[in-house]
Amino acid sequence: MSKRQLCQFVLLRPRLSITSRPLRRSFTAGANGSNSSRWANRAAIAAFSLSALVYAMTSQKPVKLDARSLAELDERTKREKGVDENSPMRLRMEQFIREQQKAIVFELEKLDGKSFREDTWSREKGGGGVSCVLQEGNIFEKAGVNISVVYGTLPKPAIAKMRVNHKNLAEADEVDFYALGLSMVLHPNNPMAPTVHLNYRYFETMRPDGTSQAWWFGGGSDLTPSYLFDEDAVHFHKTLKEACDKHNKEYYPKFKKWCDEYFCNAHRGESRGVGGIFFDDLDETVADKENTFAFIQDCLKSFLPSYLPIMERRKDMPFTAKEREWQQVRRGRYVEFNLVHDRGTAFGLNVPGSRVESILMSLPLTASWRYMYEPVPKSREHRLLEVLKNPKEWV
């Protein structure tokens, strides 16, 4: 029974009359019999009303919250109660990545000297995000640090596809879901400074009453240099390995291999960059929710220590027009991967009501495609290409 139906039922059922005057007892047999009869009738009516109410409540189907209703409930919860360790994981993860977005943007603004443009946006069916973008900065040609929150409904074909990796996902015609992610791509001006990508995300499906059903985490970070400095790759991988090893020493080698395989331009037979870590579908078959969340936190917090020292070494190095040309070619390969192979881009563009500007934030401001462009043998450009075709173990 809905809240509205319950109110109507209570208002319309027969009520016992209530008076402010004290009750008078009658000591005559006739009056006593009349009172007894009257109270018996009223008791019977009350008993019938209670029975009808119980029946109505138990015979109704459970209340179903659609994606938009759940989004409104979550917003009210955050306003009125805040978020703590007892809150749903989706709210805890959202709070954490909002904090990290602010921390990362703060440090990047210190490095660049210019401020990010911040856009806050919302989705009609629930969710929204914050896009922080810097273009034509002193250090970064383009940089984006975005948060996206999506409440939506999965159709049957999408459910069938996801059930390949998540058997606990309900078989149904449609399932409400929640998706949350922090995505970042930084494209420096200097060809000697590497592009970097980061993404950490959480996904869950909901039962009709809004409680969590299936859940999983995903994410990773990877480095894409135009000119390879081995010490930079070693430092980047070492920092990620330390974050992984705190939780499971099998994580780094597994997720490093996954990164090399995922960020690959298969049509060209080369990796997008020198890798890092990448993982998806981390659910209860890998570790419990709390331990996986702790792992995600350590990985995301390792970003600034993994990247800022590299930028301090490379951002002011001299470069030639020819080296700038090679950077543009490599950026073209970056664009190819994002538009042809990246699952996150494809998912985002196919979600109804998605914000295209935020999804395509990952693309560089400039790039080029030169016909049959080949680096000079034994050059620095040629060495990078060899490493991209044969990924190395850096630590």
197 is catalytic: yes
Residue 83: Cβ-neighbour burial (10 angstroms; 0-12, 13-18, 19+): middle
The whole-angstrom separation of Cα 97 and Cα 300 is 9
Residue 332: Cβ-neighbour burial (10 angstroms; 0-12, 13-18, 19+): middle
The single residue listed with the structure tokens 């998912």 is 347
User: What is the DSSP pairing of strand 212-224 with strand 264-265?
Assistant: unpaired
* Three-state SS annotation for 134-182: EECCCCEEEEEEEEEEEEEEEEHHHHHHHCCCCCCCCCCCEEEEEEEEE
- Buried b / exposed e across 243-263, counting CB within 10 Å, b at 16+? bbeebeeebbeebbebbbebb
The whole-angstrom separation of Cα 151 and Cα 261 is 30
The whole-angstrom separation of Cα 125 and Cα 122 is 9
Largest CA distance in the chain: 120
Please tell me whether residue 96 adopts helix, strand or coil conformation.
helix
Q: The tokens of 171 are what?
A: 């078989």
Q: Which of 166, 197, 235, 237 is catalytic?
A: 197
Q: The tokens of 239 are what?
A: 């920092």
The catalytic residue positions are: 197
